[in-house]
Amino acid sequence: MQQQSAQLRWEQHTQRPLFALALAFAVAYAVPIVRPDADPRVVQACAAVEWVVWAAFVVDYVVRLALAPHRPSFVRTHWLDLAAVVLPLLQPLRLLRLVSTLLLVGQRARMASQIRLTTYVAGAVVGLLMFGSLAVLSVERDAPHGNIRTLGDAVWWSFTTMTTVGYGDHAPTTGLGRVLAVGLMLSGIALLGVVTANIAAWFIARFDKDDVEERRQTQAILELTEEVRALRAEVAALKGTPVE
């Protein structure tokens, strides 16, 4: 029990710092893509920030594993965290660090009781849109037959892909770009489905609340009517006249 509370305390204390590091990663990932002509020292600094953020999540996972009451159970139930930590080591691609960071941020966001589902899903949609745009731009911009050359093209493509509209004016031509497209399609469908379901649940809850309030008011009126009838009966009895 003491180990479990220590793990919970660790997760609560590291929640905000890890989100701040994730934001730093977002900036470091975006700068070399948005500014391909940036100074090499800036590019190197951004790459260093990406690895530092990944290392911070590795330390977080190791500490949580050490504090877990049952470590084998922790590994089984947090296999996605482990995969995201190991993923960048398989091949030194910036895209793998992006995927792992998104996975780890998503897992930690689910642990935060103070973050409501709507906020998390909306942030996930925006993050997926922007990171998907940056990722496909970095892959497709220098492709010989690519037609996604600017950040505007990439954002437009990501938006139409996530919403499954698919106008076809922009499309990836490389194998990696198409893999990104598949991931963006599946993620977009899932997230937009959650958004729709959450909005519907909100309306249902609101209608249920209004219905409960209406029933309460109706019950109060009925009780008040009964009290009035009882009072009239008492007054009629005192006067010796029949009650209407």
> Can you spell out the DSSP letters for 171-239?
---SHHHHHHHHHHHHHHHHHHHHHHHHHHHHHHHHHHHHHHHHHHHHHHHHHHHHHHHHHHHHHHHHH
CA 138, CA 36: separation in Å to the nearest integer? Answer: 9
Q: What is the pTM of this model?
A: 0.56
CA distance 70 to 104: 21
Entry field: residues in the chain? 244
Other CB atoms within 10 A of residue 242 CB:
8
* Token duo for residue 64: 């949580």
Q: What is the pLDDT of residue 45?
A: 92
Tell the burial category of 21 from Cβ atoms under 10 Å away from its Cβ (0-12, 13-18, 19+).
Answer: buried
205-234 average pLDDT score: 76
The model's pLDDT over 116-136, given as tens digits with 9 standing for 90+, comes to 566 666 777 777 788 888 888
Segment 30-65, tens digit of pLDDT: 888 888 788 889 889 988 888 888 888 888 888 888
pLDDT at 114 over 60: no
Domain residue limits, the chain: 1-115
Q: Which residue pairs, CB below 8 angstroms and at least 24 apart, start in 239-243?
A: none
